[in-house]
Amino acid sequence: MKRRRFLRHAGGVLAGAVASVATNAFGQGEPAPAAAAPAQPKPEYPPDVPPWTKTPGKPIDKHPYGMPSPFEKDVALDVRPTDKQYWSSSARSPLEDLDGIITPNGLFYQRHHGGVPAIDPALHRLMIHGMVEKPWLFTMEDLRRFPSVSRIHFLECSGNPGYGVHGKTAAQANGLVSCAEWTGVPLKTVFEEVGIKPGAKWVVAEGADAAALTRSIPMEKCLDDALLVYSQNGERLRPEQGYPLRLLVPGFEGNMNVKWLRRLHVVDAPAYSREETSKYTDLQADGKARQFTFYMEAKSIITAPSGGQRIPEGFCEIRGIAWSGHGKIRHVDVSVDGGRNWHRAELQLPIFSKALTRFRFPWKWDGKPAVIVSRATDETGYVQPSLEELVRLRSLNGTYHNNAMTPWRIAENGEITNAYA
């Protein structure tokens, strides 16, 4: 009992000392205000025991699946109001709220052309036919019997940015990109099983969604690093990501990574489907269109500080992500004066091919208006262009494959907005 009284007394003295230190440090030596009902809960200073330590927490749920803290409820996919009413819609990853290079499954960007189908994996089949020696109908169990691999790659919608160049936040400006660890069987392995006939140059992939999305994939890509994926970040694919099976063609535009994959037709010529003629082509100034763009070029964006945020004067670490469909990111440069001068940022290891790469740059903001922007260079030597450079090259007619830089404007009060707005 004496020991308990001593600890209570000591705790009170230490708590008072901590409060005094806090007042001196953050209140600039001013006396503490008179006791009153605080607008916010009082911070818990050690060695005080916080209320959540005094009672047991909640037990494991009856049907457990881990969920984020309720204090992180605002970290969610960004969905335009117009997208909520259509089957053909999209949702963007909250890039400004994420760390690392792996996007959580629940925050992975989404793009649907006919809604999300509810597929029973026991009834799902993958048909491979056409210019093959042994046409085959695979069950999901058949595919899982093949040797599996796991690889980290990004996916990006060719329509990224989803809000045009005027997105207010990093999510709105470039949130149609995400990165995950994908697990499945190399498409090359399955093709070796069925046998590809001479003269086969293309593979037409078809999804089982209501849009029956169809894309033509070059045979060279299929035999290189394409995967038949059934798991993402260690668990089975989410329905929004193609459950129970999707195609992954690393570095290619997102719609070619066909979700809910049901058919692979091996042929000698592309299908010229809707998604590769009237859609996902780039209209040029002369009226012609670029077709079969395929690769997503090198790109980067500063995610912190970024649009919708506010920073105080002083030290600020600039952070962001970079990626390229052609391989690894070689380096990222950062400018704090609107592109007049560039500084080399530090890349966070490890650096994977065709995956998000984190970069950081230490900076001290002097409280004056500034424009910050990043510029990525990939291992081929390709340098991310400014929007002005991209417009001179391709005109303003196209809505796809915009890999231009995203500059953020910092006002005197620390508020950050899109410099193009």
pLDDT tens, position by position, 323-333: 999 999 999 99
Q: What is the pLDDT of residue 222?
A: 98
- The model's pLDDT over 169-212, given as tens digits with 9 standing for 90+, comes to 999 999 999 999 999 999 999 999 999 999 999 999 999 999 99
Are 77-289 and 299-418 the same fold in CATH? no
Of 394, 392, 374, 393, nearest in space to 384 by CA: 374
Show the tokens assigned to 162.
């989803």
If 0-12 CB within 10 Å is exposed, 13-18 middle and 19+ buried, where does residue 234 land?
A: exposed
Taking residue 67's Cβ as centre, other Cβ atoms within 10 Å add up to: 9
Separation of alpha carbons 362 and 195, rounded Å: 54
Tell me if residue 189 falls in helix, strand or coil.
helix
Could you state, in order of their start, the residue ranges of all structural domains in the chain?
Answer: 77-289, 299-418
- The model's pLDDT over 91-145, given as tens digits with 9 standing for 90+, comes to 999 999 999 999 999 999 999 999 999 999 999 999 999 999 999 999 999 999 9
pTM of the predicted structure, to 2 decimals: 0.86
Q: What is the pLDDT of residue 405?
A: 96
Classify each residue of 243-258 as buried b or exposed e, where b means 16 or more C-beta atoms within 10 Å of its C-beta: bbbbbbbbbbbbbbbb
Cα torsion 98, 294, 247, 191: sign: negative
Separation of alpha carbons 379 and 332, rounded Å: 11
Show the tokens assigned to 333.
């440069």
Task: Could you please state the CATH topology (level 3) that the domain comprising 299-418 is classified under.
Answer: Immunoglobulin-like (2.60.40)
Residues 77-289: name the CATH superfamily: Oxidoreductase, molybdopterin-binding domain (3.90.420.10)
Judge whether residue 232 has pLDDT over 70.
Answer: yes
Separation of alpha carbons 167 and 172, rounded Å: 5
- The model's pLDDT over 63-100, given as tens digits with 9 standing for 90+, comes to 788 889 899 999 999 998 877 767 788 999 999 999 99
Q: Cis ω on the peptide bond leading into residue 47 (within 30° of 0)? A: yes
Taking residue 118's Cβ as centre, other Cβ atoms within 10 Å add up to: 7
Separation of alpha carbons 395 and 60, rounded Å: 56
For residue 379, give the DSSP letter: T
